[in-house]
Amino acid sequence: MLKPKRNETDPQASFYNKFARIFGLLMTLVYVALGLFIMFAGDSLQLSVGKEFRYMLGGILILYGVVRFIRVYQSNTRNKNNRYEE
C-alpha cells in the first residue's frame, strides 16, 4: 500500500503515525472479538447458517486479526529502528 512520506519532526506526521498505530491495533481487537462472537454467540443470534460455517468464519476472522497484529507490530518496530539509525 502506498503511504505518503512524512517528516518525523513534523507534529502532524507524528499524530498520523500514532493514529495509524492505534487504529491498526484497535482493528485487530475488533476482528478477533468478532470472530469469537460469531463462533460462540451464534446460537443466541439465531443465524440460519450451520455450526461448521460459523466456526469457519470465526476462525478466519481470528486468523485475519492475528495477521493484522503481526503486520502492525512489524511496522512499528521497523519505524522505531529506522528512527534510531538516522
Instruction: Note the pLDDT of residue 69.
Output: 93
Instruction: Note the pLDDT of residue 58.
Output: 93
Q: Which residue from 12, 16, 29 is spatially nearest to 79, judged by alpha carbons? A: 16
Q: Across the 86 residues of the chain, what is the mean pLDDT of every consecutive 10-residue run? A: 56 75 92 92 78 92 95 80 55
Q: Residue ranges of the domains in the chain?
A: 12-85
Within 10 angstroms of residue 82's Cβ, the number of other Cβ atoms is 10
Instruction: Quote the CA–CA distance of 69 and 29 in Å, as a whole number.
Output: 9
Within 10 angstroms of residue 80's Cβ, the number of other Cβ atoms is 10
User: Which position has the grid cell 500500500?
Assistant: 1
